[in-house]
Chains A and B, each alone.
Chain A
Amino acid sequence: MLVINKLNINFKEFKISNINFSVDKGDYFVLLGKSGAGKTLILEMIAGLILPKSGKIFMDNKDITYAKIQSRKVGLVFQDYAIFPHMSVYENIVYPLKSKKINNKESRILVNNCASDLNIRHLLKRSPKTLSGGELQRVALARTLILKPDLLLLDEPLSSLDIQLRKDLRSLLRKLNKNGQTIIHVTHDYEDAVSLANKIAVMHEGTIVQRGTPKDIFQNPKSEFVAKFIGTKNFFKARIESQGKENLKKAYINSKLIIFLYTETESGEGFIKIRNKNIILSDKKIEMSTQNTFKGKVLEIIPAHFGFEILIDIGVELSVLISKESLEKFNIQEEKYMWVSFKASSVKFYKGY
């Protein structure tokens, strides 16, 4: 449906380079990145509000890179909603219909239906100045959706809402997408991405550093930035060296720490990831079949969803998940020295830079 091909832009002092991605009909595509990564500029380019320096934007196989804004069938909801403050809620929602010269009677029906779908019918006569953030967000959505855009662009739609409103709006967005609305959603919050997207692109410093399904991104982050940004634990830059034993290799994390792992890669630079649920914690060194055993100091004990997350320093900061029972049994406390063990097969290597 939408294909972005080698898009580049210089906007004031900001540079976006070589953006490539595609969105299929019915996709929920999340563009994930820190503030200032250039995500909003990409949305504005798709909407035609700014023009790229080079590259192409195709919509349904038609080149729309320089097409008129009004002819693109792309609806953009701005981060701060951009509700017209001098118009009532009704006037805001009917605004796009007036541009299409739809008569008053039909417009009224369309506005009422759209407002009912978004639960804002009771707000139609109100001034935007009297509305809460969540209500304004729904008005902005209604105003954009009333034109039935082929593609809905959302710029950080959940960033300024409280937890309950976020939950409500997420389910509303899910519902919209389920009903066939194609969405591109820009956010800095990986939770939004996990809970909504079927495709994700991660942006960093004006370029896309990884794209794929949420599973691809979260299980196989391709760079330290992506891993850190999406909250992946135990992800370290490493250099692999063969040691002659078939696929068993050494990963040098730093000058002191060597971790054993299985990989077909003979040697080279990349990243390793150790699954924290596969790490065993003990208060004594135990003889086990595991290739990796280290002594480390407990840095922090953080309550987690199921039990506790222990941060332990073994030369790098390792995250280990344990149950409440284990915490009490081993009397784990901060500053205490513990032993960690994990199999070489629990370590995964990703080629990278």
Chain B
Amino acid sequence: MFKNRIHILNLIFAFLGGLVLLFILAPLVGMFLDTSVEDLFETAVDKEVLDSIWLTLWISMLTTMFFAISSIPLSYLLARKDFWGKRFVLGIINLPIVIPHSAAGIAILGFISRDSLIGRCAADFGLNFVGHPVGIAAAMAFVSIPFLINSARDGFEGVPVRLEKAALNLGASSLRVFFTISLPLAWRNIVSGLILMFARGMSEFGAVVIVAYHPMITPVLIYERFGAFGLKYARPVSVLFIGICLLVFVILRLLSREKKYAGN
């Protein structure tokens, strides 16, 4: 009787879960099916589309790498140290997740525009971050950095403290302990965080469109094609971009798997 009840419950849960999966998959599959091979091929050789995809990929990649240098040590501190105001710091880190991205774009624009201190300094060197890849990078980083920090923090928390203590006792400096023990053992989570940050940055539209309409990253291009020409013209760009994103993620996942770390 009890067994049967569990069986029925599992069926109900599986049905509800199936609906969610369908909700995610149906629009995507529909979009792929509605796009003809000719349209896709035409888009794949469209210079504007290719330039925007390339721009999106490399800005997102460089942004992730640049911010990793300061975010990973911060994640380590958050995982290992208890300090006054730690909860507040954690709150700040998660702030970009909860605020509307267009509002985030406004904030970034105010931060880098020619009226701001940074903007004025850049102008002295003949730079204007608004409508510049640096502005796009700032908008991408702002909305995606919590994913890296949180994932890396989870990774460091999973590294047993006694392994670090053992390394210190074996004569290693704190820096060597970090690079030879903590970082390799948290690596899996850090790679996940890097991929998440990269993906989130790449797909950002709201914040980027306010900071830089041009040069055009792919999410902005899709929006522009939809606005100017309609669904039919926006669809092949979307399909191509999704395809390339998936390909990049699969490659990154495979690369991160190649080196087998012990994990936690």
Task: List residues of A whose CB falls within 8 A of some B CB.
Answer: 44, 47, 49, 69-70, 74-76, 78, 80, 82, 84-86, 95-96, 99-100, 129, 143-144, 147
Instruction: Provide the residues of chain A in CB contact with B261, threshold 8 Å.
Output: 86
Q: How far is the CB of A3 from chain B (nearest CB, A)?
A: 20
With A84-B181, A96-B171, A99-B171 given, can you name 20 additional A-B contacts, CB distance below 8 Å? A47-B169, A49-B165, A49-B168, A69-B169, A70-B172, A70-B173, A75-B169, A76-B165, A76-B166, A82-B160, A82-B166, A84-B167, A85-B262, A86-B184, A86-B261, A95-B180, A96-B170, A99-B172, A99-B173, A147-B170
Q: Once the chains bind, are B169 and A49 in contact (CB under 8 Å)? A: yes
Tell me the dominant secondary structure on chain B's binding face: helix
The answer, among B165, B172, B173, B185, for a CB contact under 8 Å with A86, is: B185
Closest 9 CB pairs of A and B: A85-B262, A82-B166, A96-B170, A99-B171, A86-B262, A99-B172, A76-B169, A69-B168, A70-B171
Q: Does residue B80 face the partner (Cβ distance < 8 Å to A)?
A: no
Of the A-B pairs whose beta carbons lie under 8 Å apart in the complex, a sample of 18, sorted by A's number, is: A49-B168, A69-B168, A69-B169, A70-B168, A70-B171, A75-B170, A76-B165, A78-B165, A78-B166, A84-B163, A84-B181, A86-B185, A86-B262, A95-B167, A143-B170, A144-B169, A147-B170, A147-B171
B residues with a Cβ closer than 8 A to A are 160, 162-163, 165-173, 176, 180-181, 184-185, 261-262
Residue pairs across A and B with CB atoms within 8 Å: the count is: 55
Across-interface contacts of A82 in B (CB, < 8 A): 160, 162-163, 165-166
Chain B residue nearest to A146 in the complex (CB): B170
User: Are A74 and B170 touching (Cβ within 8 A)?
Assistant: no
Name the distance in Å between B95's Cβ and chain A's nearest Cβ.
Answer: 31
Contact of A44 with B165 at beta-carbon distance under 8 Å, contacts A86-B184, A99-B176 already known: yes
Give the complex CA separation of A80 and B165 in angstroms.
Answer: 13
Q: Decide: A99 and B170 in contact? CB cutoff 8 A.
A: yes
Minimum CB distance partner of A153 in chain B: B169
* Separation of A147 and B172 alpha carbons in the complex (Å): 12
In the complex, what residues of A have CB within 8 A of residue B160's CB?
Answer: 82
- Residues on the B chain within 8 Å of A85, using CB: 185, 262
Provide the residues of chain A in CB contact with B166, threshold 8 Å: 76, 78, 82, 84
Q: How far is the CB of B170 from chain A (nearest CB, A)?
A: 4
Contact indicator B169/A95 (Cβ below 8 Å): no
Question: Once bound together, how far apart are the Cα atoms of A85 and B261, in whole Å?
Answer: 8
Collect the chain B residues with CB atoms within 8 Å of residue A47's CB. 169
B residues in contact with A74, CB < 8 Å: 169
Shortest distance in angstroms between B180's beta carbon and chain A's nearest beta carbon?
8
DSSP majority for the A interface? mixed
Alpha-carbon distance between A85 and B162 when the two chains are bound, in angstroms:
12
CB distance from B262 to the nearest CB of A (A): 4
Chain B residues with CB below 8 A from A80, complex form:
162
Question: How far, in angstroms, from A1 to B187 measured CA to CA in the complex?
Answer: 42
A243 CA to B142 CA, complexed, in Å: 88
With a 10 A CB-CB cut-off, give which of B162, B163, B167, B184 has the most chain A CB atoms.
Answer: B162
Tell me, in angstroms, the Cα distance from A75 to B78 when the chains sit together: 29
Which residues of chain B come closer than 8 Å to A49, judged between CB atoms? 165, 168-169
A80 to B163, CA, bound (A): 10
Task: Contact check, B169 vs A100: say whether CB atoms are below 8 A apart.
Answer: no
User: Smallest Cβ distance from B11 to chain A, in angstroms?
Assistant: 39
Return chain B residues, CB-CB under 8 Å to A143. Answer: 170
Q: Which of A69, A76, A143, A147 has the most CB of B within 10 A?
A: A69
Contacts of B176 in A (CB 8 A): 99
Best-surrounded residue of A74, A78, A80 (most CB of chain B within 10 A): A78
Using CB atoms, name the residue of chain A closest to B171.
A99
Q: Which residues of B contact A76 (CB under 8 A)?
A: 165-166, 169
| B47 smallest CB distance to A (angstroms) | 46
B179 CB to nearest A CB, Å = 12
Chain B residues near A100: list those with CB within 8 A: 171
| Minimum CB–CB distance for A136 against chain B, Å | 12
Closest CB in chain B relative to A84 CB, distance in Å:
6
Cα A126 to Cα B139 in complex, Å, equals 47
Known contacts A44-B165, A86-B184: A129-B262 contact under CB 8 Å: yes
Closest to B262 in A: A85
Rounded to whole angstroms, the CA-CA distance of A49 and B173 in the bound complex is 13
Q: Which residue of B lies closest to A95 (CB)?
A: B170
Note all chain A residues with C-beta closer than 8 A to B169: 47, 49, 69, 74-76, 144
Q: Which residue of A lies closest to B176 (CB)?
A: A99
Q: Are A78 and B162 in contact (CB under 8 A)?
A: yes
A80 to B185, CA, bound (A): 17
| Cα of A144 to Cα of B162 in the assembled complex, Å | 14
Instruction: State A95–B176 Cα separation when bound (angstroms).
Output: 10
Nearest to B184 among chain A residues (CB) is A86
How far, in angstroms, from A76 to B160 measured CA to CA in the complex? 16
Cα A49 to Cα B160 in complex, Å, equals 14
Could you say which residues of chain B place their CB within 8 Å of the CB of A144?
Answer: 169-170
What's the least CB distance linking B186 to chain A, in Å? 11
A9 to B169, CA, bound (A): 20
Residue of A nearest to B166 (CB): A82
CA distance A86 to B261 in the complex (A): 6
